[in-house]
Chain A
Amino acid sequence: MAENILSKKYKLVVIGGSAGSMEVILGILSELKRTLTLAIVIVLHRKKNGESLLVDLFSSRTTLVVKEAEEKERILPGHVYIAPADYHLLIEKDFTFSMDFSEKVHYSRPSIDVTFETAADAYGESLICILLSGANADGALGVKKAKEAKGLTMVQNPEDAEVSYMPAQAIAIAQVDLLVNGAEMGAIINNLSAQ
């Protein structure tokens, strides 16, 4: 694992969060350095509407480009993409997004599992997969898939999480690489970036 971290081979960070994760995400974004060579994809459980508000809110915390992920869009380093409301966000092997309006997973659309699983499939060992606070089992299976695909898996320390259920579910079914407090995550991501 230490070797993984030093090798700086990572290209994509996927972050999943539900109840209690917003503050952590805002904290991560405000830490990210402007020369970040990684792309960030954020999947957040929320109500159907209000995506534009999230873009504005996240943009206010970082100099990186923040946008809602678009259908067939190519994933670029230094960009922060938000999964749109009410669609699953999938990542294709050619590093583009596609969307899907299939059944909710763990009562959620977008589902964290769906994005994590497809990201693991597309990025393999160049993926960093981060699961934050939440009251839902979504994301746990995705963390497991990311680990199996040799990505780096990072879960918010349940004691640090506002709602510990979601990180605890991931820890229960996957050999998670790192348990991290929310406040430390931004710095870790910066360190894993190539420059």
Chain B
Amino acid sequence: MITDEEVDWLLSDLLEVYGYDFTDYSRASIKRRMSRLFSLDRFPSFAEFRFKLRNDEEYLKRFVEEITVNVTEMFRDPTFYKVLRTEILSILATYPLIRIWHAGCSTGEEVYSMAILLSEANLLHKSLLYATDINPSVLEKASRGIFPLSQMKQYSENYIQSGGKRDFSSYYTAKYEYVKFHEDLKQKMIFATHNLVSDRSFNEFQLILCRNVLIYFDQNLQERVFSLFDYSLESLGFLALGSKETLRFSTISTNYRQHSSKEKIWRKIS
């Protein structure tokens, strides 16, 4: 187990050596992830762990990938996707070009879910899906569109619960232990690194999804990210969060109305 002091050292190393600022992340989670990595990679001492991180850029990639949580699912929270499918997409359909931002997209499962929804609503051809993450190696995975076959049963169930009518396997080709989603789903995806802590807005969107990212941030950082989203969202655009996240305590909340009481989707009304 890594001590609090050691966590502080690693956090200041990351900032000083590489410019990654994790100081406003929820501490218990990051401490646990660091401790986990320390024992996973079998370092004989904390000093060696720290030395490796400071001096090996390849290890930095692994470190960032492991301390940021990259667990995600396709059609996670099917009722959320059902609301997107039945209520939100028809509004977005009125725009000539639909711009969607998946902020903190991790390995991309939710971006592919969205592409499937758009394609079924015959909207994919006029959409752009921006998928960003702090971490280049997860984006690399996302852009490949290759996911473990073992997950497909769960994803297929999620898809059906979200209102999907097709045979889910029609969207991918299976080979050995993996499946590859069809290239046409990827046509409108743009993958780019973006750091929610330090980077600015880069476009205006009608829908921003940032699900299960803010839970890792402290309140100050959450507030900063909400302002970034507010700045990046067109009037009457939608902001979608994870099921345990809320806009309620943010200063921007007065400009937003929650679209449905059950799902964490807000609409910008001014």
Contact = CB atoms under 8 A, between A and B. Distances in A.
Given A101-B69, A102-B33, A71 B27 contact: no
B215 A114 contact: no
A71 B215 contact: yes
A92 B33 contact: no
Nearest to A86: B243
Interface in B63-81: 69, 71-72
Interface in A66-108: 70-72, 84, 87, 90-93, 98-103
A118 interface: yes
Contacts of B244: 70-71, 84, 87, 99
- Listed residue (B4, B69, B72) with the most chain A CB atoms within 10 angstroms of its CB: B69
A118 B28 contact: yes
B259 to A, nearest CB: 20
Given A71-B246, A100-B216, A101-B71, A114 B26 contact: no
Given A71-B244, A71-B246, A100 B69 contact: yes
Given A100-B216, A103-B71, A90 B28 contact: yes
B32 interface: yes
Contact of A118 (B32, B69, B71, B216): B32
Interface in B38-80: 69, 71-72
A92 B26 contact: yes
A71 B216 CA distance: 10
B219 A114 contact: no
B212 A101 contact: yes
A93 B215 contact: no
B87 interface: no
B29 interface: yes
A72 B219 contact: yes
Contact of A122 (B28, B32, B33, B242): B28
A6 B242 CA distance: 44
A192 B63 CA distance: 42
A80 B97 CA distance: 48
Contacts of A125: none
Contacts of B242: 101
Contacts of A122: 28
B184 interface: no
A98 B214 CA distance: 10
A92 B246 CA distance: 19
Contacts of B245: 71
Contacts of A103: 71
Contacts of A121: 28, 31
Contacts of A138: none
Interface string B213-255: 0011011000000000000000000000010111000000000
A98 B32 CA distance: 12
A84 B243 CA distance: 10
Contact of B28 (A71, A84, A92, A101): A92
Contacts of B246: 71
20 contacts: A71-B215, A71-B245, A72-B218, A84-B244, A87-B215, A90-B32, A93-B4, A93-B27, A93-B28, A99-B215, A100-B26, A100-B216, A101-B69, A101-B72, A102-B33, A102-B69, A103-B71, A114-B32, A117-B32, A121-B28
Interchain residue pairs A-B with the least CB separation, the first 4: A98-B26, A90-B28, A102-B69, A118-B28
Given A71-B244, A71-B246, A99-B244, 4 more contacts: A102-B69, A114-B32, A118-B32, A121-B31
